[in-house]
Amino acid sequence: MPFSLRERVRRARPLALVLAAAAACSDPMAPDASPDVASATSAELTAAAAIPSVSRSVSTLSSTSTALTGSAGTVVSSSYSYYNLRVGPGTSYAKIGTIRPGTAVTVVCTATRTSSGGTTVWSRLSTGAWMSGTYIALASGAPTPPACDSPAGPKVTAGVRGDDYPFKGASASGCSHDEWGFCVRQCTSFVTWRLRNVNGVAHFRYSYGGTSWGSAKDWDDAARRLGYRVDRTPAVGAVAQWTSSSSGQGHVAWVASVSADGRSVTIEEYNYRVSRGYSARTVSTSSVDNFIHLY
């Protein structure tokens, strides 16, 4: 006989306890002194629903909307009606939606953050969103999620993937918008495809995180507003950004590989060497204005 949801949650292993047992340090993890929760007020739901990229997750996070695989779990039941979903592992990152107790989730990896409120394990979900691992119970027999390779997410495998962009056959005249709000066959649209399809940022779009990503030249500012790392350090999966271009709108590309000495990167892009088309090239790291780490 199948178990009820209450019984499945009771039998499941709390994620924080699993990770504490697996950690080399023997000190017990401090409780989350400031729960990252949301009440079911109309103002809260209205604010979350106003973000197009995650509006479907306000009532429930779809278990079929996954970009990465990991360990199965369930959001635990409690006196709270909703828990917050964020763009990064911590309450300093922008909130991008909420999730109901009892929702099935897949945890890709985890990151531990320490603050004045104690130590909190943050879980990266397969949709790209983060939530406090305190409120996730892993299914019986599910493997312990690995630590994320960076504060932003799991490691992206290096390699040029070729022109798999889904709108490459669309008309190049004018600005027909893709399903994410960008003009098709432009650099921003192609990089958005890579972020969603490879990096696992499943909700990325023009209005991601409640801020405007707009032109390529503005992407560094948008990323900083949401707490993402922006620097001059190359990494596979990072967004290479040039803040100026002949069009005045800047340019972005996706980093496919980094040389052993870190002095050059191979990038994939649209609308640079080929007008409204795909190209891959190797450039010096120093020629790139910023690397934006969206994982």
117: nearest Cα among 139, 80, 146, 92: 92
Q: What's the structural domain count of the chain?
A: 2
- Structure confidence at residue 38 as a pLDDT band (50, 70, 90): low
pLDDT (0 to 100) of residue 111: 82
Residues 125 and 21 in one domain: yes
HEC sequence for 223-257: HHHCCCEEECCCCCCCEEEECCCCCCCCEEEEEEE
Kindly state whether residues 241 and 122 are assigned to the same domain.
no
Q: Do 134 and 191 fall into the same domain?
A: no
Lowest mean pLDDT among 14-28, 54-68, 180-194, 217-231: 54-68
Where a domain ends, among 138, 156, 177? 138
Same domain, 114 and 198: no
Token pair, residue 87, equals 């763009």
Say whether pLDDT at 292 is over 90.
yes
In a domain, 129, yes or no: yes
According to DSSP, residue 4 is labeled P
Q: Residue 214: give the domain boundaries.
A: 187-293
Q: Are 106 and 10 part of one and the same domain?
A: yes
pTM of the model: 0.61
Q: What is the mean pLDDT of the chain?
A: 77
- Whether residues 134 and 206 fall in one domain: no
Residue 144 lies in a domain: no
Give the range among 111-120, 171-180, 238-247, 268-277 with minimum mean pLDDT. Answer: 111-120
Burial class (CB in 10 A: 0-12, 13-18, 19+), 24: exposed
- Residue 165 domain-assigned (yes or no): no
The C-alpha atoms of residue 62 and residue 105 are separated, in whole angstroms, by 8
For 158-208, write each residue's pLDDT tens digit: 999 999 999 999 998 889 999 999 999 999 999 999 999 898 887 899 998
Residue 96 · residue 87 · CB < 8 Å: yes
- Same structural domain for residues 18 and 129? yes
How far is 265 from 253, CA to CA, in rounded Å?
11
Based on the fold, state whether residues 129 and 204 are members of the same structural domain: no
**For residue 288, which of 182, 216, 224, 226 has the smallest C-alpha distance?**
216
Q: Specify if 283 maps to a domain.
A: yes
Joined tokens for residue 44? 């809260």
Q: Is position 261 within any domain? A: yes
- From 79, 111, 138, give the residue that closes a domain: 138
Q: What is the mean pLDDT of residues 265-292?
A: 97
Domain assignment present for residue 160? The answer is no
**What's the average model confidence in pLDDT over 25-42?**
38
Task: Give a yes or no: residue 173 inside a domain.
Answer: no
pLDDT at residue 29 in the model: 25
Residues 10 and 123 in one domain: yes
Helix (H, G, I), strand (E, B) or coil at 71: strand
Q: Rounded mean pLDDT of 210-220?
A: 93
Residues 133 and 9 in one domain: yes
Q: What pLDDT is recorded for position 200?
A: 80
Does residue 263 carry a pLDDT above 70?
A: yes
Q: Residue 265: in which H helix or E strand, if any?
A: strand 264-270
Looking at beta carbons, which pairs linking 263-270 to residues 24 or more positions away fall under 8 Å? 265/234, 265/240, 266/160, 267/240, 268/160, 268/161, 268/190, 268/194, 269/187, 269/190, 269/191, 270/165, 270/185, 270/186, 270/187, 270/189, 270/190
Residues 199 and 126 in one domain: no
How far is CA 196 from each of CA 67, 100, 177, 263, 295, rounded to the nearest angstrom? 7, 23, 17, 27, 9
pLDDT at site 78:
77
Q: 168 in a domain, yes or no? A: no
**Which of these, 194, 197, 174, lies nearest to 184 by C-alpha position?**
174
Q: What is the pLDDT of residues 130-166, one digit of tens each?
A: 899 989 999 999 888 887 754 444 568 899 999 999 9
- pLDDT-derived band at 268 (thresholds 50, 70, 90) equals very high
The CATH number assigned to the domain holding 271 equals: 3.90.1720.10
Task: Please provide the DSSP assignment of 90-146 as one string.
Answer: STTSPEEEEE-TT-EEEEEEEEEEEETTEEEEEEEETTS-EEEGGGEEEPTTPPPPP
Residues 238 and 134 occupy one common structural domain: no
pLDDT at 24 over 90: no
- Which pLDDT does position 37 carry in this prediction? 62
> Which is more confidently placed, 65 or 85?
85
222 vs 228: CA distance, rounded Å: 9
Q: Within 10 A of 86 (CB to CB), how many other CB atoms are there? A: 22
| pLDDT tens profile 66-99 | 345 678 999 998 788 889 998 878 887 878 889 9
